[in-house]
A and B are shown apart, each in its own frame.
Chain A
Amino acid sequence: MGAAALSGPRGRVYGRGAMAEAATGAGAQAGAQVESGGRTWLVRHPTEWRQVGIVALYQALLWGMMFVPAWRSPLVLVPAFLLSFLNAVVIHNHLHRGIFHSHRLNMLWRGVLSFGALYPASANVPSHNLVHHHFGDDGQPDWADPEHVRFRWNLLNLIHFPNIAGPNTFAGVAKWAATTRQASFGRQYLAETIFAFGLTGGLLLYDFWPALAYVVLPQFYGARCILRINLIQHDGTDTSSEWNHSRNFVGRLFNWIMCNNGYHTIHHNRAGLHWSELAEAHRTEVAPRIDPSLDEPSMVGYLLRRYVLTLGRPARRDVAAAERSAAPTKLASRAARRQAAEQAAAVEQAARASRAGEQVAAG
């Protein structure tokens, strides 16, 4: 499995070679130019240093609190919680598009990220890239579908959501792993699991209470928040629509910190686009086609309004009306993109079989 595992039809991961088919946007081409023209040292895109910095800072806080008693204070722990969530955001970005030139380094980086979140980062390949990106198109609900939670008090849905999405995800990943043709997935997944749980277990054995308070709690917080973001970004949207399936958070500072993960619609529609290109693509492609209620200026404001100041879950609206009255787009429909991805997978599969046949004949 390539570092740049892409969203494709459920049940398949495409290798690095398939990136061109899935990433058809201009941004992807721009990203490719950075990679091939002015080759950056170590990372594939200069903006990746922001992601490396986020993870480095997060790890520094965890290890500092673990081994330097003077660091054990809310002033360090609260940023560690926030950085843990960003660590999970980096997992998301890295599993769409590997940060480093080196394949091996990308795999090792997954291990580092897995420790930060206490779950194997490679789980994102089936759970996010292959399943979530297609919502219910494959006939079964997304493992993180907002409809999985049904408390009348909406705040409870926000708190409870990871309790549903988490086990759904890991049961789904186990099932997917049994059928994937990517033989290396199982090894990588196991290695990340052993590293993340082994290191955390070692810290708990070394000094239990600090490890629990300053390592495990931040790890859990980040992992559960990244599951929660599925509810935040998709509850009340129309996941069967072309452009109104996601809620966006468009604040500039928020998106700088979040590596543009506030622009979720365009990320779904152009999964191969580098995160640094999302803001512009959102402005040109999404904004004219999206219901204004799905373009939120502030996530904090939205959370307060939707989950604290309102008790019940808002009634559903026809948010997709906005795209029906908008100008046509050059982007192929979801169904066409899915079909193209399946065809690309079939071609890749046939080529692989042909290469294997040639090797047998030659050997």
Chain B
Amino acid sequence: MDFTQFMAAFALAAFWLNTLLIAGAGWSECAGLRRRYAYMTEGTGARRGAVTGADGPEGALAEFTVTQVGRSNGRGPIVFHDRGHAARLLGGRVTLADGEAMALPAEAAVEVWISRRALQRAAAPRSGDAGHAEVLAAATRAAGWERRVATGLRVGDTIWLAGQVGAGLVLADADPRRWLARITGLTVLLVLGVFLAAGACTAACLWPPGFGLVSKLGAFAALVAFNLFQLLGKLHHDAIQPPSLRVLGGQWAGSGGRAAPGDGGEAG
């Protein structure tokens, strides 16, 4: 083995080290989230119910807001990035499917999980919003245009309740165990996917004759995969965030001089 071949072998080792790290980081993050929300699948788990009373304005039991800043170059879309997520329990009553009634005190610590679709609806421009020209002018400033996307759980809504008041409470508009299953599935996909792809690249790299055409193609594929795996790791990280921290992002496309939901709240 000459020095060039030694360096090629070194590159393959570095490729595998980083593949292992990306898979390990994804696995570890998912495992941490599963531990944190283990109460959703243990004991009483997540219980279905309905909001039957609320102390907040317009029948709101809890609110969830995403503060966003929109920026534009004045010609293209207004692109939003999230500045912060906040949840607040306003107080009220929930009647669970088994008939048990629960009172939820205002200001107790809570995570409010709103489905992506509902959040995107809340993020889409409405007729009551400021005019496009006004928004665009603000969005082209250095500071951008700040807005609050607000949604929540109201009287009559079906909700899922997991955890306990004062000891980790989640109120969701969909079964939160589906989210747990989803992040587990995505993580298994990530780990299996990168290992399979890395294995295929390695097999090609080592294909006889050593350093022949197939070997070259394998090494080139490994170069591409090395960068692709990093992107997959980021996408996986973004995708498994709890709904209370999920990136909303999105953009408004200018259309005929007025606001139009470019993709309303296209999740970034």
Contacts and interface: CB of A to CB of B under 8 A. Distances in A.
A163 B22 contact: yes
B144 A11 contact: yes
B268 A159 contact: no
B11 A212 contact: yes
A139 B83 contact: yes
B131 to A, nearest CB: 19
A209 B4 contact: yes
Contact of B67 (A139, A156, A210, A213): A139
A140 interface: yes
Nearest to B74: A181
Interface in A174-223: 175, 178-181, 183, 204, 208-210, 212-214, 216-217
Nearest to B139: A179
Interface in B194-221: 211, 216, 219-220
A159 B83 contact: no
Contacts of A168: 234
B233 A167 contact: yes
Given A11-B71, A164-B234, A212 B3 contact: no
B79 interface: yes
A119 to B, nearest CB: 10
B11 A179 contact: no
Interface string B224-246: 00010111011001000000000
Nearest to A216: B223
A12 interface: yes
Contacts of B223: 212, 216
Contact of A163 (B4, B18, B79, B144): B18
A204 B72 CA distance: 39
A77 interface: yes
A171 B234 contact: yes
A139 B78 CA distance: 18
A149 B21 CA distance: 11
Interface in A141-180: 149-151, 156, 159-160, 162-164, 166-168, 171, 175, 178-180
Question: Mostly helix, strand, loop or mixed at chain A's interface?
Answer: helix
A349 B141 contact: yes
B135 to A, nearest CB: 13
A223 to B, nearest CB: 11
A346 interface: yes
Contacts of A306: none
A204 B222 CA distance: 14
A163 B230 contact: yes
A138 B142 CA distance: 11
A346 B72 contact: no
A203 to B, nearest CB: 13
A346 B83 contact: no
B77 interface: yes
Contacts of B25: 149-151, 160, 163-164
Contacts, number: 119
A342 interface: yes
A9 B143 contact: yes
Contact of B28 (A150, A208, A212, A346): A150
B7 interface: yes
A231 to B, nearest CB: 14
Contacts of B8: 209, 212-213
B230 A180 contact: no
Contacts of B148: none
A164 B139 CA distance: 29
A8 interface: yes
Given A151-B28, A179-B73, A166 B230 contact: yes
Interface in B111-150: 139-144
A150 B21 CA distance: 11
A235 to B, nearest CB: 16
Nearest to B251: A178
Contacts of B185: none
Interface in B76-91: 76-79, 81-84
Contacts of A325: none
A178 B76 contact: yes
A300 B34 CA distance: 38
Interface string A61-72: 000000000001
Nearest to B70: A179
A210 B2 CA distance: 11
A171 to B, nearest CB: 7
A72 B6 CA distance: 11
B230 A140 contact: no
B259 interface: no
Given A140-B81, A151-B28, A77 B142 contact: no
Contact of A342 (B7, B143, B237): B143
Smallest CB-CB A-B distances: 6 pairs:
A139-B83, A213-B7, A167-B234, A345-B142, A179-B71, A160-B21
7 contacts: A11-B71, A159-B18, A164-B233, A213-B11, A217-B7, A346-B142, A349-B140
Given A175-B79, A178-B77, A180-B73, 6 more contacts: A140-B81, A163-B229, A179-B78, A209-B8, A212-B11, A217-B7
